[in-house]
Structure 1
Amino acid sequence: MSSSRKRSFLDIVDMCDNVHIRRDGTGLYDVSYGSEVLVPLYLSESTDTAVIGLLRPIIVEQLKLENMRSVQEGLQELWSLRLEPSDFVPLKNGTVGPSVSFKAWLDTPAKRTAAMQELCERWRDTGLFSDVCGPTKWRSEMYPIYADPFGLHDHPLIAGHDAGLNYAFEMERSACALFGLVTYGVHMSIYDEIAQEDGQRSLRVWVPTRAFTKPTFPGHLDNTVAGGIPSGMSMFESLVKECMEEASIEPDVVRKHTRAVGSISYFFRTTKGWLQPEIEYVYDIVIPPAVDPAPFTPRPLDGEVESFEFMSHDKLLRELRAGLFKPNCGLVILDLFIRLGCITPDNEPDFMKIINRLHGSFDYDKW
């Protein structure tokens, strides 16, 4: 894996935040992908409810077939499809256009979860969309889907009930991109800063190389620890779990030394065209000076990492500009450089563009 091109920092952002939405009187489009038509997915048949995802034409056509299959088998249809102008109703953002939603009978998180589980497992077993949720891509991890993607991360296991929650349902991680659903993760950097005689600081960050067997971005560089947030688990507890599983960092070290430093958000479209709006919660561990570094030294454990390197600032910049990081991990490195004052308005002409793009909202107001 190599590249001779030296990318700008804004190029690094463009590699990951690469979906650009336009809405007009006829519908919603991704202008960065041949103006492909996208159809909003509502949680229920009332368009006063939340938009939770965006559907590509190929998925809309498949949902038509799913409804036909349900009728043929004497089952209730899953999908309310308003795709012709005569079916259009005013949408939540004041426009009109095509839309899709769950049918009204799917009125609880448990019902939606069961329906999506049957659907996704059947698609897996029949080889439909095998590049996304086929047997080799299946993660066996359930992700939470929220009515308000920017709202509270609640869950029936925590609340003790499933009524009145932001939690809407959960589904297989790999299939979320088929429905353009917002997903969530945690990313952490473990680093140190050494003061030099000239008054400057020397930054070193622990950087893993992803296993060559990973289903996504094998062999790319990553953040020290990163992973998705499983359904029913808090952000920080997800981080504690990932630290042990991926990097052999003990929970007591994580709990004592980790600080939450913000989040990044971006709208990523894969090379195959699948939609992945994502929010990543960002954490740091700064290795304390004059202590035994062993507890902070990551080591591969679960087979998802080939090796770790304590990478210098200069090498981080070279690898980042060469495009060797997994795209969203490159954004986390940019965020770290900004927070540490390495990238500033004085030395980066695209500073404000980068800042705004690292904290995007997926053009959600247009959905």
Structure 2
Amino acid sequence: MSPSNPLSRPQPSKKAFTFIDLIDLADNFSLSSVSPNDTLVPFYLAPSRSSPVIGLLRPSIVAKLREEHESTQRHGGPAAWHFSSPFSTPDLFVSFASPTFTPAQRTAIMKNLCERWRDTGFQPNIIGPSKWRDELYPIYRDPFGAAYVKWDGWETRGEENWAFDMERSACALFGVVTYGVHMTVYREAVEGESEGVKIWVPTRAKTKPTWPGYLDNTVAGGITSGMSMFESIVKEAMEEASIEESIVRKYAKSVGGVSYFFMTSQGWLQPEVEYVYDLKIPAGVEFEPKPSDGEVECFELLSLDEVTSRMHAGLFKPNCAIVIIDFMIRHGHVTPDNEPDYMSILTRLHGRFEYDRWGMCSL
């Protein structure tokens, strides 16, 4: 099995993955690992280093944006992009051309750009027609600030932090932070059982564009622009697992989050935040998640020992494995007494992507 290849079919690994190994699969990038020949370029919101830095660009993307800029200039169109220097100098950064662009204007610029790249075959393995999600993700001025949430379709919360929206599949090309929700549905031991906690574990469909056939969290999905975290988990629970809205609203609990800096096998950066929920099935409640939207093959109710065994075999999608590790810590199954890497695990689950260094990448 090759865990770094999202298109491979999972097979039990000959190596027993430790919990730190599993975290390494999801949190596999640091700025210190960047090759001198592949310098990252900061992506700023406006043409000033005092503006927020919102992403990290590889040189190939900077070159493509410069090509777009020069084509626009030749045709007399309005500039969308600013480059702090004409060449790949150490102080190079890229931003939107105008500091007065509104979120709606930036969203329109990104929409036109990403659709053009899709239709002209640029990076087809990332944003080609077969990879296109037609789903907008929010991009923030401060990736750790307030989320942009719509209320009643017009009033917003976190609007001041909202920078723009962009196509989900293109986010990795710009190295921006993305957000999702993960929920573990579990039950404790019932009378007459000796196995203790059991978790509902889905197998991802073979047709999934990423990580087909791997094991997943009970419910998981990205947060589309304008939707709150809790409403996202309600939506995903119904779509992926046929879990009734009333059950999620009554029993799902927000229990924290995990964050990690993932680099794909092609070298694209995907810093991600996952908001984490637990749903404990009360005794006497009849419950069984069922596949609904074609993204899941089946669900299994597995003991925590069996879940751990499959994690050690490398059968879980990496970011889902770390959500389960977080679950095991919170519920007292992984402790400082039984896990020698406890503190390393604990701190790695809540990274900040070295965000304070992003603006200095090309300096």
Q: Normalising by the residue count of structure 2, what TM-score does the alignment of the two structures yield? A: 0.90
1:145 offset after TM fit, Å?
0.6
Q: Aligned residue for 1:7?
A: 17
Q: Which amino acid aligns with 2:252?
A: T
For residues 222 and 67 of structure 2, what CA distance do their matches in structure 1 show?
Answer: 31
Q: Aligned residue for 2:142?
A: 148
For residues 273 and 222 of structure 1, what CA distance do their matches in structure 2 show?
Answer: 23
For residues 316 and 290 of structure 2, what CA distance do their matches in structure 1 show?
Answer: 19
1:196 offset after TM fit, Å?
7.8
For residues 50 and 187 of structure 1, what CA distance do their matches in structure 2 show?
Answer: 28
Q: Which blocks of at least 5 consecutive residues in structure 2 are unaligned?
A: 1-9, 359-363
Task: Kindly report which structure 2 residues correspond to 1:216-227, keeping only aligned pairs within 5 A, or say none.
Answer: 216-227=210-221
Q: Taking every aligned residue pair, what percent have the same amino acid on both sides?
A: 54
1:323 offset after TM fit, Å?
1.2
The answer as to whether partners of 2:149 and 2:157 remain within 8 angstroms in 1 is yes
Task: Kindly report which structure 2 residues correspond to 1:327-342, keeping only aligned pairs within 5 A, or say none.
Answer: 327-342=318-333
Question: Does 2:184 align with 1:189?
Answer: yes
The answer as to whether partners of 2:47 and 2:99 remain within 8 angstroms in 1 is no
Q: Which has the higher strand share?
A: 1
Classify 1:34/1:261 alpha carbon distance in 2 versus 1 (closer, same or farther; 3 Å): farther
SS in 1 for 2:106: helix
The answer as to whether partners of 2:147 and 2:157 remain within 8 angstroms in 1 is no
Q: Aligned residue for 2:64?
A: 62
Q: Which amino acid aligns with 1:240?
A: V
Q: Aligned residue for 1:81?
A: 83
For residues 106 and 208 of structure 1, what CA distance do their matches in structure 2 show?
Answer: 46
1:34 offset after TM fit, Å?
7.2
Question: Does 2:108 align with 1:114?
Answer: yes
1:275 offset after TM fit, Å?
0.6
Task: Kindly report which structure 2 residues correspond to 1:22-61, keeping only aligned pairs within 5 A, or say none.
Answer: 22=32, 30-31=33-34, 36-61=38-63
For residues 101 and 59 of structure 2, what CA distance do their matches in structure 1 show?
Answer: 25
Q: Aligned residue for 1:209?
A: 203
Q: Which blocks of at least 5 consecutive residues in structure 1 are unaligned?
A: 23-29, 89-96
Q: Aligned residue for 1:94?
A: none
> How many residue pairs are counted as aligned between the two chains?
347
Question: Does 2:26 align with 1:16?
Answer: yes
For residues 86 and 286 of structure 1, what CA distance do their matches in structure 2 show?
Answer: 53
For residues 244 and 197 of structure 1, what CA distance do their matches in structure 2 show?
Answer: 31
Per-residue deviation, residues 239-290 of structure 1 (Å, max 9, x unmatched):
100000000001110000011000000000001111100000000001112x
1:156 offset after TM fit, Å?
6.4
Q: Which amino acid aligns with 1:18?
A: N
For residues 12 and 59 of structure 1, what CA distance do their matches in structure 2 show?
Answer: 30
Classify 1:83/1:8 alpha carbon distance in 2 versus 1 (closer, same or farther; 3 Å): farther
The answer as to whether partners of 1:109 and 1:162 remain within 8 angstroms in 2 is no
Q: Normalising by the residue count of structure 1, what TM-score does the alignment of the two structures yield? A: 0.89
1:47 offset after TM fit, Å?
1.5
For residues 10 and 237 of structure 1, what CA distance do their matches in structure 2 show?
Answer: 32
Q: Aligned residue for 2:361?
A: none
SS in 2 for 1:215: coil
Per-residue deviation, residues 34-68 of structure 1 (Å, max 9, x unmatched):
77311111100121111100001111111111111
The answer as to whether partners of 2:149 and 2:158 remain within 8 angstroms in 1 is no
Q: Aligned residue for 1:72?
A: 74
SS in 2 for 1:217: coil
Q: Aligned residue for 1:247?
A: 241
Q: Aligned residue for 1:359?
A: 350
SS in 2 for 1:44: coil
For residues 276 and 18 of structure 1, what CA distance do their matches in structure 2 show?
Answer: 10
1:82 offset after TM fit, Å?
2.1
Question: Does 2:296 align with 1:302?
Answer: no
The answer as to whether partners of 2:147 and 2:158 remain within 8 angstroms in 1 is no
Classify 1:162/1:194 alpha carbon distance in 2 versus 1 (closer, same or farther; 3 Å): closer
Q: Which amino acid aligns with 2:26?
A: C
The answer as to whether partners of 1:155 and 1:165 remain within 8 angstroms in 2 is no
Q: Aligned residue for 1:178?
A: 173
Classify 1:190/1:146 alpha carbon distance in 2 versus 1 (closer, same or farther; 3 Å): same
* Bigger mean CA offset, 67-76 vs 141-150: 67-76
Classify 1:233/1:82 alpha carbon distance in 2 versus 1 (closer, same or farther; 3 Å): same
For residues 35 and 252 of structure 1, what CA distance do their matches in structure 2 show?
Answer: 53
SS in 1 for 2:39: strand
Which gives a bigger RCO, structure 1 or 2 (Cα 8 Å, sep 6+)?
Answer: 2
Q: Which amino acid aligns with 1:11?
A: D
Classify 1:366/1:288 alpha carbon distance in 2 versus 1 (closer, same or farther; 3 Å): same
For residues 49 and 73 of structure 1, what CA distance do their matches in structure 2 show?
Answer: 29
Q: Aligned residue for 1:92?
A: none
Task: Kindly report which structure 2 residues correspond to 1:224-303, keeping only aligned pairs within 5 A, or say none.
Answer: 224-289=218-283, 291-294=284-287, 297-303=288-294
Q: Aligned residue for 1:160?
A: 155
Per-residue deviation, residues 283-313 of structure 1 (Å, max 9, x unmatched):
0001112x1322xx11000101010000111
How well do the aligned residues superpose, as a CA RMSD in angstroms? Answer: 2.2
The answer as to whether partners of 1:300 and 1:307 remain within 8 angstroms in 2 is yes
SS in 2 for 1:74: coil
